[in-house]
Structure formats: structure tokens, C-alpha cells
Amino acid sequence: MNYGAWKKESQRTFWARALLELGRERKDIVVLSADLSTSVKTSVFAEEFPERHFNVGIAEQNMMSIAAGLAASGKTVFASTFAAFGTGRVYDQIRQSIAYPELNVKIVATHAGITVGGDGATHQIVEDIALMRALPNMTVVVPADAPETYLAIRAVADYVGPVYLRMGRVDVPTIASVEDDFELGKATVLRDGDDVTLIGTGVMVSRCLVAADELTKEGIDARVLNMSTIKPLDRDALIKAARDTRAVVTAEEHSVIVGMGAAVAMDLAESAHVPMKRVGIPDVFGESGDSDELMEKYGLTAENIIEATHDVMRRKGGAL
Amino acid sequence: MPKHGQELIARLEDEALKIRRHLIRMIYQAGSGHPGGSLSATDVIAALYFHVLNVDPENPSWEDRDRFVLSKGHACPAWYAALAERGFFPIEELDTLRKIGSRLQGHPDMRKTPGVEASTGSEGQGLSVGIGIALAAKLDRRSHRVYVMVGDGENDCGQTWEAAMAASFFKLDNLCAIVDRNLMQLDGPTKHIMSLEPLADKWKAFGWKVLEIDGHNFKEILKAFDKAESVKGEPTVIIARTLKGKGVSFMEGAVGFHGKAPNEEEYEQAMVELGGEP
């Protein structure tokens, strides 16, 4: 499948831009880094507002609890690091210091998933959505592209409470525009259709759109939902899509057993019994490699979404 | 006339005794809790709430208040008793500790309890939270101070030392840590579980002003807090040598009362020793 026609942009650049604007507009914005400020681009904020940026070194536990203290004193805190170190390494600090007291800390994680590439499995966290989704009081956001990342950062800054926002390392195809609306907790219908619903999150949303175009050639009319807020899940949009199209495919750059697809499957099991299939990383660790090659090897392409669609369409026909 | 006169000392001793009676009763009624580490922390907490801290029980979220974070959250019965005696909530409410629907959770919950500044319990996080509060005070050019009590066992935690390093790096002279050096942790004496000495040298090496005191001597406690306030450009740690179970003979130095409630007989004896009515 050819993604060549799409413009690709950096989510990290748009996050840094939104953060810088917020810093200019609001004195309560404080930013924390853990020796990765140039990688996660909080360095852009630090350059203009050195007094409101604190680099704690390679001490993410300390960073998360410091974030809690700042938030308890009325600050809106953005704590940013790689997804692997911003979730698994500090789960207990997020749990006790941030989520339990419902403090206004935004954990902005970059380098999530296998598109990290060459750094390999230690850095390719595929279960961060699961960890954060399991926490009471936590909101989980996975923007689909760079402009949506910008909009989501602006939105989470206005929301009071803990948020986990996840993005990848590589530039991703741009499907939205910064002129669009973004509402926390709302899925957006990017393409209407009646035969099947493809629900994507993050980098997989563009793959869903490519798959939908291909499916048209086979006479399958696919609806595409961008599920950019994974918690709270937009159940209304999900159930409407399931009832309208009677078949659902989910796609995410995350472990299939515990991510967005699992959340969708749980909700559907309790509300709308339609054939569904999850596209995502199987229950395995990743490995080093080129991002695109890894996406292919681990089953995260438009072709994988098309295959999954064929499967749900067969079952939708009654041959369960 | 000495700065901390006999009258003040006598009042603090009286408050500490009340706190000890409350917490023994609370833990006895709850049927679970941590008497040992609560009793060792009591005198420092009494000094904080009845002399050192500038707080307003009528307005617990007053922005310029001094903050206290109990990083060793399991000692919260002492904290709750001090808060109630100081007027943050009714004294009768102390008897709801650990009961369903209570504002007094088994470990501190800042969303439930008036005067509780941080949710703690999982060890090792409180000093970092204190750094965040101290940084916010510096950013806002406010002059309130931040006090964090760290348990002896919390000196085992890596995060405590991440925080120790950062607090001196950020020159947080508005931050004062108190180590409740009762020489014990859940499994036994700290020197047998994970040796900490030379502890003062460790804190010094991390860039802190270190004061070592008897954590049950109010003159020394008050003098140390005064000294800490006068230190500029670096945080201060007060290593308070204390006795686990202080004030109840059979709990003193007894590892068995780290996390166990007294039975009826023990409760009655403890109350007699503390000069209270069982």
C-alpha cells in the first residue's frame, strides 16, 4: 500500500508548538523533563521559559511525584518523557501521587509503540495504553496525526485532571487540520459507510483510511472512526457505528490483548453483538528494525486491516 | 528568657500526650494500623502543628500556609490526631479511622481529609511531592515553607535519593525534611534489613544541611526547626533520633508493633501509661 501521497509531519513538533503557545498564554503552565528534553521537544519550551522548566535528570519517579506537588499548588504540569519510562517505570508514582488524588498533571509520552524502530523492545512499549487505561481518574488520549496532536494538547491543558497522551517517534501521515475541532472524549467519523466500521487510534487511523479506499473497490463501504480518546471511550459513537454497520475492526499500534481494541471488544460484548476483529501487535515484545518494516512484520498495515475486514464480513454474513 | 520557654514546652508535651492517646485508641478501635511508627513521629508532629506551622484550620487551602507532607503515610493516625486537636475536623471523627465511608483512610488521602497535603502510603514518594510544592512556592514568590517527614525505612528507597539530589540542585531552602530515625522498619532493625549508616554523611553528600537531634526532646526539636528556617541556599534535613513505640512501654523498640493493633488488655495498659481513660 502506498502512503507516499500523504504529507507526513512530526507529532512532536506540533506538541512543542502547542506547549510553547500555552506557556505564552498561561503562567500556570510548568514543564518537567527527565534528561530527554531534546528528544521529547520540551527543550523548545525550556528555551523561552527556563524558569518554568525543570529537568530532573534520569529520575522519572522523582519527576512524577514532583509533578504532583506542583499540581497540588495550582500549577498545570506537563511531564514528558518516552512512553516506556513515563508509564511502566513510574506506574506506582502515577497511581499514588497523581491519579489517586486526581491532580492536574499531563503526562505527554513520545516514542510509544514499535515505530520507535532501531532502539528495540526495551524502548518500544506496547502496553502503555493498558496501564494508563486501568487507572481510575485517568484520561487517555492518542492523537492520529500532528495537527490533532496540537489540538489535543490544547484541549488537555484546558481539562482539569490527570491525562496520559501518547505519540510516536516517526512522522505520521497528516489527515486532519489544526482548523478542525477536537473534543476530549469524542470519536470523530472521518469517512461514512454502512458495511463495516474501522476504528483506528494513533498512527493506525491513516491506515484505516487507506484500507477503506481499497475496500471500496471491492464494493465494501467502510466507515472510519478516529478513536483519539481511549478513556473515556466514546461509547455512543461506538455503539451507533456497531448498530449501523454490524461489523467492527479495530486497529492500534499497541498490544491487542489490552489496548483500544480490547476496550472496544468489552463494550461491544455488553451492548452490541456484532462480529469484530482486532488489528494490533500480538502478545509479544518488539525488536530493532526500520519502522515501516516493523509495522509490516507485526501486522500493522492497511492490508492487515483489509484482511480483518474480510473476516468480519464473512462472519457478518451469518457463518459464525 | 530562653526562646522556647517552659510554658511552650509543657504545652507541646501535653499535646503530644493527647495525640498518643488518640492514636492508640484509634488503632485499637480500627483493629489495625501502625502504632510503632506513629508514636515515634508524634513529638515532631506535635511541634509542627502546635508551634512551627503557619496554618489556618478554618481555611485549610489558604495559599500561603506552610505545608506538611507525611511521606511515611502509615503513621497517619498521629497526623490525624494532630489535625483534629488543631481544629481541622472534629475530634470525634478520629474514631472513624479505617472504617467504611470515613474521611480518615488507612493511609493519607489529600482529597478526603482537611489538612492532608499529599496522598502517601506507598513509600518513598513524599519528598518528591514536597519538592514540587517547594518549587511552586519559589515560582510564585511565596514565603511559606514545606516540611516532609521521611520514615527511617524510606532511606532504602531509590526515589528518596533522587529527591535528595534534586532538592539541593534546585537550592530549595524552603524545604525541610525530617527523618524519623527510629532504627526500625517492618521486618526488623534497619541495620539488619538495609544498613543506612553513615546516614548523616549520606545526606550531607547529597547537598543538605544536616541537623541531628533527639526527636523526643522538644527543646532540640524547636531549635532545629528554627535553625532550618535560617539556612539559605540549601535544603535542611533534621535526623530525629526516635524510639519506635515511644510512650508505651511494651511497644517501645518492639518490631511487632510496626503494623499491629493492641488487643484489649494491651490497649488498657497503654492508656494507663499515657495517663488516659481506657
Cis peptide leading into B278, omega within 30 of 0? no
Residues in chain A closer than 8 A to B140 (CB atoms): 73
Write the pLDDT tens digit of every residue in B156-201: 999 999 999 999 999 999 999 999 999 999 999 999 999 999 999 9
Would you say residue A3 lies in a domain?
no
- Whether A4 has a pLDDT exceeding 80, the answer reads no
CATH number, domain containing residue A57:
3.40.50.970
Write the pLDDT tens digit of every residue in A154-163: 999 999 999 9
Which of A150, A173, A196 delimits the end of a domain? A173
The reply to whether residue A66 touches residue B165, judged by beta carbons under 8 angstroms, is no
The reply to whether residue B125 touches residue A30, judged by beta carbons under 8 angstroms, is no
CATH number, domain containing residue B64:
3.40.50.970
Whether the Cβ atoms of residue B163 and residue B215 lie closer than 8 Å to each other: no
- Report the candidate in A50, A54, A49 with the shortest Cα–Cα distance to residue A64: A54
The predicted complex's ipTM stands at 0.97
Q: Mutating which of B125, B127, B165, B206 best tests the A interface, going by the most A Cβ atoms within 10 A?
A: B125
**Do A193 and A310 reside in the same domain of the chain?**
yes
Would you say residue B209 lies in a domain?
yes
B154 Cβ contact partners less than 8 Å away, ≥ 6 residues apart: B71, B72, B123, B124, B126, B127, B160
The reply to whether residue A62 touches residue B137, judged by beta carbons under 8 angstroms, is no
**Do A237 and A300 reside in the same domain of the chain?**
yes
- Whether B9 has a pLDDT exceeding 90, the answer reads yes
Cα-to-chain-centroid distance, residue B18: 16
Half-sphere exposure of A29 (CA within 13 A, CB side): 22
Q: How many domains does chain A divide into? A: 2
Whether the Cβ atoms of residue A98 and residue A161 lie closer than 8 Å to each other: no
Would you say residue B111 lies in a domain?
yes
**Do A73 and A157 reside in the same domain of the chain?**
yes
The reply to whether residue B120 touches residue A96, judged by beta carbons under 8 angstroms, is yes
Would you say residue B175 lies in a domain?
yes
- The whole-number average pLDDT for the span B229-254 is 97
Which of A141, A173, A205 delimits the end of a domain? A173
**Do A228 and A308 reside in the same domain of the chain?**
yes
What pLDDT sits at residue B277?
77
Chain A interface, Cβ < 8 Å to B: 30, 51-52, 54, 56-57, 59, 61-62, 64-75, 77, 92-93, 95-97, 100-102
Would you say residue A181 lies in a domain?
no
- Whether B258 has a pLDDT exceeding 70, the answer reads yes
Degrees to nearest 5, angle at CA A80 with A79 and A83 = 125
What pLDDT sits at residue A178?
80
**Do A133 and A39 reside in the same domain of the chain?**
yes
Three cell numbers at A2?
A: 502506498
What pLDDT sits at residue B131?
98
Would you say residue B76 lies in a domain?
yes
Taking CA atoms, what residue in A is nearest to B109? A101
**Do A92 and A162 reside in the same domain of the chain?**
yes
Residues in chain B closer than 8 A to A66 (CB atoms): 128-129, 131-132, 135, 163, 166
Write the pLDDT tens digit of every residue in B50-101: 999 999 999 999 999 999 999 999 999 999 999 999 999 999 999 999 999 9
Per-chain mean pLDDT for chain B: 97
Would you say residue A311 lies in a domain?
yes
Which band of pLDDT confidence, cut at 50, 70 and 90, is reported for residue A1? very low
A200 Cβ contact partners less than 8 Å away, ≥ 6 residues apart: A144, A206, A207, A208, A209, A224, A225, A226, A227, A250, A251, A252
**Do A155 and A298 reside in the same domain of the chain?**
no
Residues in chain A closer than 8 A to B124 (CB atoms): 61
d(CA A132, CA A253): 15
End-to-end Cα distance, chain B: 39
Would you say residue A263 lies in a domain?
yes
What pLDDT sits at residue A245?
97
What pLDDT sits at residue A319?
46
**Do A248 and A298 reside in the same domain of the chain?**
yes
Three cell numbers at A80?
A: 514528558
* Strands A276-281 and A248-255, bridge-based pairing: parallel
End-to-end Cα distance, chain A: 30
- The whole-number average pLDDT for the span A26-42 is 98
Write the pLDDT tens digit of every residue in A276-311: 999 999 999 999 999 999 999 999 999 999 999 999
Which of A149, A173, A197 delimits the end of a domain? A173
Taking CA atoms, what residue in A is nearest to B107? A96
Write the pLDDT tens digit of every residue in A235-266: 999 999 999 999 999 999 999 999 999 999 99
The reply to whether residue B119 touches residue A54, judged by beta carbons under 8 angstroms, is no
Q: Which domain holds residue A214?
A: 188-316
Taking CA atoms, what residue in B is nearest to A99? B119
**Do A143 and A242 reside in the same domain of the chain?**
no
**Do A234 and A265 reside in the same domain of the chain?**
yes
- The whole-number average pLDDT for the span A31-37 is 98
d(CA A269, CA A37): 42
Q: Which domain holds residue B219?
A: 6-273
Q: How many domains does chain B divide into? A: 1
Three cell numbers at B134?
A: 517547594
What pLDDT sits at residue A176?
80
What pLDDT sits at residue B269?
97
pTM for the whole structure: 0.97
Would you say residue B159 lies in a domain?
yes
User: B235: distance to nearest CA of chain A, Å?
Assistant: 16
Which band of pLDDT confidence, cut at 50, 70 and 90, is reported for residue A52? very high
**Do A165 and A52 reside in the same domain of the chain?**
yes
Residue tagged 503562567 (cell numbers)? A27
Would you say residue A86 lies in a domain?
yes
**Do A131 and A209 reside in the same domain of the chain?**
no
- Whether B102 has a pLDDT exceeding 90, the answer reads yes
Give the DSSP letter string of chain B. --SS-HHHHHHHHHHHHHHHHHHHHHHHHHT---HHHHHHHHHHHHHIIIII----TT-TT-TT--EEEESSGGGHHHHHHHHHHHTSS-GGGGGGTTSTT-SS-SS--TTTSTT--S---STT-HHHHHHHHHHHHHHTT----EEEEEEGGGGG-HHHHHHHHHHHHTT-TTEEEEEEE-SEETTEEHHHHS---SHHHHHHHTT-EEEEEETT-HHHHHHHHHHHHH--SS-EEEEEE--TTTTSGGGTT-GGGSS----HHHHHHHHHHTT---
Taking CA atoms, what residue in B is nearest to A62? B128
d(CA A294, CA A288): 8
Would you say residue A293 lies in a domain?
yes
d(CA A164, CA A141): 6
- The whole-number average pLDDT for the span A140-167 is 98
User: A161: distance to nearest CA of chain B, Å?
Assistant: 13
Task: Look at B277 and A150; give whichever has higher pLDDT.
Answer: A150
